[in-house]
């Protein structure tokens, strides 16, 4: 029987070492597992979600993309999906993981990365996107925010981040590769970056998506974390754990 715990993890993406950790769930046999993706620059890592999911039987891997929080390489938004896919492959190869029950959970830019990576990875059985960017054309990054983010990242600049952001594909353009996947979208009505109308086009393109709005929440769900944990935990349990 696997004991609950936390292991330091070093995985590789295109020759760069990425740092992270694996929250191991207790239990017999391979368990469902989640890759947890943070946003930019990643001050909110959502590790309360990792602990909540571990408590109900999910292994959870969090990691840092190239160029941030000690991971090797230069930070570049074009690396987010390859790094997420490398993490997913590492997790699927672990003997304690049931590779048929894998999910991606991401917040903000990490929510965009979760959806975009799932579009390239049919083995992803479910996606949870928390206040995600879904269309950079409808939510451009400000120069002030780009400069602020760049100070916490290696090998980039505010100008480079602005160009990277503008080049990201809209999730609506990837919708044909996501229609067979269960998706939970959780958003905040007081989001200072992505207000509710940011998501209306996505709702039309992904009719199977379940959309839950938190009326009193900010972008990071700061005041409603218990409710957010309950929602994510319950939604994933309903899809991955036998009754």
pLDDT in tens, 158-191: 999 999 999 999 999 999 999 999 999 999 999 9
Q: Indicate the average pLDDT of the chain.
A: 96
Does residue 242 register a pLDDT over 70? no
- Which residues lie closer than 8 Å to 119 by C-beta, 6 or more apart? 174, 177, 178
CA distance 222 to 214: 11
Chain segment 59-97, per-residue pLDDT in tens? 999 999 999 999 999 999 999 999 999 999 999 999 999
- Please state the domain extents for the chain: 7-22+37-128+173-238
Averaged pLDDT for residues 102-118:
98
User: In the structure, what pLDDT confidence band is assigned to residue 231 with cuts at 50, 70 and 90?
Assistant: very high
Architecture of the 7-22+37-128+173-238 domain: 3-Layer(aba) Sandwich (3.40)
pLDDT bracket for residue 241 (50, 70, 90): confident
Alpha helices (H) in the chain, listed in sequence order: 47-55, 80-92, 109-120, 143-150, 158-167, 200-205, 225-240
- The answer to whether residues 21 and 90 touch, using CB atoms and an 8 Å cutoff, is no
- Residue 19 pLDDT class (50, 70, 90 cuts): very high
Residue 169 DSSP code: P
Place of tokens 């799932």: 118
Judged by DSSP in three states, 229 sits in helix
Kindly report the pTM of this predicted structure: 0.97
Asked if 114 and 134 touch (Cβ cutoff 8 Å), the reply is: no
Q: What are phi and psi of 25, to 5 degrees?
A: -90, 150
């Amino acid at each position: 029987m696997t004991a609950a715990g936390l292991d330091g993890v070093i995985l590789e993406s295109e020759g760069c070492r990425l740092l992270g950790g694996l929250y191991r769930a207790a239990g017999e046999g391979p368990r469902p597992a989640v890759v947890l993706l943070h946003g930019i620059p990643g001050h909110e890592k959502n590790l309360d979600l990792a602990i909540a999911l571990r408590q109900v039987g999910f292994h959870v891997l969090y990691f840092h993309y190239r160029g941030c929080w000690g991971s090797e390489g230069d930070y570049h938004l074009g690396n987010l999906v390859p790094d997420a896919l490398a993490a997913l492959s590492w997790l699927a190869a672990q003997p304690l993981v049931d590779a048929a029950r894998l999910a991606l959970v991401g917040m903000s830019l990490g929510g965009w990365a979760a959806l975009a990576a799932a579009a390239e990875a049919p083995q992803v059985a479910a996606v949870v996107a928390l206040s995600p960017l879904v269309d950079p054309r409808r939510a451009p990054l400000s120069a002030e925010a780009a400069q602020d983010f760049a100070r916490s990242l290696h090998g980039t600049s505010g100008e480079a981040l602005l160009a990277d952001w503008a080049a990201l594909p809209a999730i609506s353009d990837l919708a044909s590769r996501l229609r067979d996947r269960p998706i939970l979208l959780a958003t905040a009505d007081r989001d200072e970056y992505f207000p509710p109308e940011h998501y209306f086009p996505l709702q039309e393109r992904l009719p199977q998506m379940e959309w839950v709005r938190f009326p009193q929440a900010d972008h990071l769900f700061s005041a409603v974390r218990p409710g957010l944990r309950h929602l994510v935990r319950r939604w994933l349990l309903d899809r991955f754990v036998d009754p």
